[in-house]
Structure 1
Amino acid sequence: MKRYSGLFIGIITVLIVFVLAGCGNNSSKNNSNITVGSQGSDFEIWEHIAKSKQAKQAGLNITVKQITDPTQLNNGTTEGQIDVNAFQSWSYYQAYNRENPKSKLAALGTTYLEPMGIYSKKFKKVSDIKDGTTIAIANNPANTSRALQLLQSAGLITLKKGFDALSDTKDVSSNPKHLKFKEIDDTTGPRVLNDVDVVVIGNTVAMDGGLHVLKDSLYHESLNQSTKDNVNILATAAKNKNNKDYKKLVKLYHNKQIQKYIKKKYFGTKIEVNKPLSYFNN
């Protein structure tokens, strides 16, 4: 009788071990491992999100990689080294897909608009800008075109039809004030303000230089139909467009507590845009 009793206890013990092992395996399966590629302030945001309790509650294990070259970041996403990237505007994303028809990206959702601004130490308003003034703009394609669109919105120039994220100063159709354009490394914008009368600066670089786009710029982007293509998105390889775990990142970004952190850290200059992707087609 004792022998059967011992055998019974042994069987129960083995069963418990298998059940516990199964629970452990199920737990790991329920946690999705996602690599997010980013740069600059977006990298900092996603590092915060990766460590947040909200990410754990969503069952997401997020690893964040910083890659400063945008083309490399997009290529890494389409090739699978990066699952999702967080750095680019809708217009840059569209331009990339046009240039890379065999390795396209898919948008997962919107995140924010970070206004670009026109700055000057010499002029107090846009209408003060004189004939022949030199304006410094970024020398990388995405920000060059965006700066020119901002100057058009401010009433300083007119751009040719079909102007897009890969267009540049050759696509200016009207320049009534005979403005001169000086292309610069966009990370030097705040420093160049001492040497050039007017500089167009992206907000991340402006903040690094102690400038607040909503307070210090002569003119800046606002969220409307003309700037919607500058809204930032999360993107993945086209084959992953329906991945449910990747889509969770969009909802996670717009979590109230995450947004509270972003607004406080970046002084309200990253304007939340929580819109369906159909927003870009309206």
Structure 2
Amino acid sequence: MKKRLLSTLLVAVLAGAMLAGCGKSESESGGSSSTSEEQGSSEGGSSDEKKEVIKIGIRADMVNQLESVRAKIEGLGYTVEESVFDDSVQPDVALAEGSLDMNWYQHGPYLESYNAENGTDLVMIEPKTFYPLFAMYSDKWDSVDKLPDGATIGLCNDATNQARGLNMLQSQGLIELDEAVEVPTMYDVKENPHNFEFIEAEMSVLPQSLGDADAICLAAGHMVNAGLSAEGYLCQSDDNDVYAVGFAVRSEDKDAKWAKEIAEAVQCDELAEYFKTEKAGTQIPCWE
């Protein structure tokens, strides 16, 4: 009798343990599924996901630009939350880490360089917004054709903008560059039929050379920053589409409806007027 009772109790204990184990396993399985969903959500989810708040990163010098189109973006049903940065690196860091949905301050070559150096996969979406005017200025001559032999030409001392200046001179038929060099410097001028003399300076101080040089090549915004007019340039760069500024997103959002809607919405009269007045025409709308 005692043995039979002991056996019955033992079976009951084992059965209870097995049921408890099954219940725990299902709970763990359900928790795992929930965690997976949460991870999917934290990684941005589908590009078609409905978004109500758009977190946009900008540089400090673009605060007014964003404000000029805020009503256009929010008119689509989105709420804009901006994050303002003092440099050109941190907005990409924040975007790659997921604390931003998009940023708006850089051109394609810069973004490509950032991706290559940091192993990121950020993408600039279409349509792009504007390009910074890059041109040749002179207070001695009123056309490229009048530049004399032996003229002194001022170039930027950073690699990207010096190459832009030289390529602009080449597109005008004034010099010929070494085709084997992807980012040419003034030492890569293969043919210089007019015997131009090249000098270089940091772009923000290059306008100070205007009185000494026959012409200078730089982004027009720095003319305005120096208190000079950005109008009356001798010629402008023909690679503006390459250096156009647009919205950057993570690769999984490159086809997102919300991203494209915003990129299209900012191509508006309000932004064109902002470029004309506050930027003194140094930023050219891509849609005009």
TM-score by length of 2: 0.69
Residue of structure 1 equivalent to 2:131: 113
1:149 is matched by which residue type in structure 2?
N
Matched, 1:169 2:186: yes
The whole-number CA distance in structure 1 between the counterparts of 2:184 and 2:99 is 29
2:276 is paired with a residue of what secondary structure? helix
Matched, 1:242 2:258: no
Matched, 1:196 2:224: no
1:88 is matched by which residue type in structure 2?
Q
Matched, 1:34 2:55: yes
Query: Cα distance, 1:64 vs. partner?
Result: 4.0
Residue of structure 2 equivalent to 1:48: 68
Q: Residue 111 of structure 2 contacts residue 122 of structure 2 at CA under 8 Å; is this kept in 1? A: yes
Alignment CA distance shift 1:270-1:246 (3 Å):
same
Residue of structure 1 equivalent to 2:102: 84
Matched, 1:57 2:75: yes
Alignment CA distance shift 1:243-1:141 (3 Å):
farther
Q: Residue 253 of structure 1 contacts residue 259 of structure 1 at CA under 8 Å; is this kept in 2? A: no
Q: Residue 37 of structure 1 contacts residue 82 of structure 1 at CA under 8 Å; is this kept in 2? A: no
Higher percent of residues as helix: 1
Q: Residue 37 of structure 1 contacts residue 86 of structure 1 at CA under 8 Å; is this kept in 2? A: yes
Alignment CA distance shift 1:177-1:207 (3 Å):
same
- Unpaired runs of 5+ residues, structure 2, are 1-49
Q: Residue 35 of structure 1 contacts residue 63 of structure 1 at CA under 8 Å; is this kept in 2? A: yes
Residue of structure 2 equivalent to 1:186: 203
What percent of counterpart residues are identical? 23
Residue of structure 1 equivalent to 2:40: none
Query: Cα distance, 1:75 vs. partner?
Result: 4.4
Residue of structure 2 equivalent to 1:152: 170
- State how many pairs are aligned: 237
Q: Residue 51 of structure 2 contacts residue 258 of structure 2 at CA under 8 Å; is this kept in 1? A: no
Q: Deviations over 1:31-82 (max 9, x none)?
A: 3131322354x44312433xx32232221313141333x4555445434455
Residue of structure 2 equivalent to 1:255: 268
Q: Residue 131 of structure 1 contacts residue 178 of structure 1 at CA under 8 Å; is this kept in 2? A: yes
Matched, 1:143 2:164: no
1:228 is paired with a residue of what secondary structure? coil
2:233 is matched by which residue type in structure 1?
S
2:171 is matched by which residue type in structure 1?
S
1:216 to 210, 229, 232: 232
Residue of structure 2 equivalent to 1:132: 150
Q: Deviations over 1:144-189 (max 9, x none)?
A: 221122121222222233655x443344332222323322111113
2:273 is matched by which residue type in structure 1?
K
1:255 is matched by which residue type in structure 2?
C
Query: Cα distance, 1:240 vs. partner?
Result: 3.3
2:185 is matched by which residue type in structure 1?
D
Q: Residue 39 of structure 1 contacts residue 87 of structure 1 at CA under 8 Å; is this kept in 2? A: no
Q: Residue 177 of structure 2 contacts residue 191 of structure 2 at CA under 8 Å; is this kept in 1? A: yes
Alignment CA distance shift 1:100-1:129 (3 Å):
same
Return the index of the structure with the highest Cα Rg.
2
After the TM superposition, which of the residue ranges 53-62 and 78-87 deviates more from structure 2?
Answer: 78-87
Alignment CA distance shift 1:64-1:197 (3 Å):
farther
Q: Deviations over 1:198-218 (max 9, x none)?
A: 2112121122234443x3212
Query: Cα distance, 1:193 vs. partner?
Result: 1.4
Matched, 1:207 2:224: yes
1:35 is matched by which residue type in structure 2?
I
Alignment CA distance shift 1:61-1:101 (3 Å):
closer
Alignment CA distance shift 1:145-1:64 (3 Å):
farther
